[in-house]
Amino acid sequence: MGRRLRTHWYRATTVALAGILLVAAAAVALPRTATSARSAPTAVPAASAASSSIVSTQPSPSGGAPVVRPATLATWGPAPQIASTTPPPEVAAWSGVILDEASASVLYQKDPHARLSPASLTKIMTALLALEHGDVDATVDVSVDSRTMRGSTVMGLVPGERLTMQGLLYGLMLPSGNDAALAIAQAVSGSTPDFVDLMNRRAAELGMEDTHFANPHGLDASGHYTSAYDLALLTRTAMQRKDFRDIANTQAITVQGAINTYHLGTLNPLYGRIAGVDGVKTGYTRTAQQTIVGSVVRDGHRVYIVLLRSTDRTGDSLALLRWAFASWSWPATPGVVASDRDSSGT
């Protein structure tokens, strides 16, 4: 059957004569779909990690060597348990997921496999590949001209600029520089098309079955899509790297290039609005609407929230995160968050 997210749906029925609450859970396989049909959001009362079979003969997106998908998602902590039967709030987002990091348990879902435009959430993959394949201290010669990218979010690169890969990564993740994405792609792979091929190979390796990338920045393009669940998997992998976490959790920084000085600030609206925020990325295009991946740590437990095609990503995120931390309970002993597990990331 391959990796399929199986979750437990619940129905709460009040029995008038007895005045008690009955909760019935039934295992339902979530359908994968390329449409954006909207279904009712659900909580998952018996959370469990999703798994997938090894598919060693899966062809490469580029026709090269076969891609080996993960057999299971690595976990390092027990799943949280339901503490309240309060249903999740209604939100504007068409699709969303809340994922517990340590157990890989889905705590909330709304059309989690719908294939939608991610906008700049694409840059999470771009940053991960830059860290996996590049040298953050290496100096990059820039040929990208941000002045030709009208209507785009940019860090302000000009041809002839020279700065470190790490500086480009800050320009990618904080102000969401589309110019930085192109400069990184060219520095890592030699060309943007080759880098996009690398993105799709990595997505396949991570088991991102509802994802296909067409560029490294996330501007709307034919064949460029992903899902909320796939983005949660991607972010969970990226956040196991300390170097990625440090960049994703930076709110402001100044980067010095050979030509210009760049004063960069995050676009993440969750900082200052809810405790424990430590990343990750926002995005917007006309097709994608508002998108967000957020990371929040409470009492040693990290959860990721992913929302696609929202008209109020900040309100949606805050409502769902508050609901999640009020509705789920973790073991008394704090789980080990990624920052304590591994400083290099694997």
Annotated active-site residue 110? The verdict is no
Annotated active-site residue 123? The verdict is yes
Annotated active-site residue 36? The verdict is no
Q: Which of 105, 120, 310, 327 is catalytic?
A: 120
Rg (CA), the chain: 20
Residue 198 sits at the vertex; the CA angle it makes with 175 and 194, to the nearest 5 degrees, is 90
Residue 217 sits at φ, ψ, to 5 deg, of -115, -25
Give the integer Cα–Cα distance in Å for 51 and 122: 23
Kind plus residue range of the DSSP H or E element containing 107? strand 106-110
- Does residue 183 come out as left (phi exceeding 0), alpha (psi in the -120 to 50 range) or beta? alpha
- Pair 44, 107: CB distance under 8 Å: yes
Q: Which of 176, 295, 310, 317 is catalytic?
A: 176
From 161, 173, 225, select the one nearest 199 (Cα to Cα).
225
Q: Which of 123, 189, 310, 327 is catalytic?
A: 123
DSSP 335: P
Q: Annotate 25-43 with three-state secondary structure.
A: EEEEECCCCCCCCCCCCEE
Active site residues per annotation: 120, 123, 176
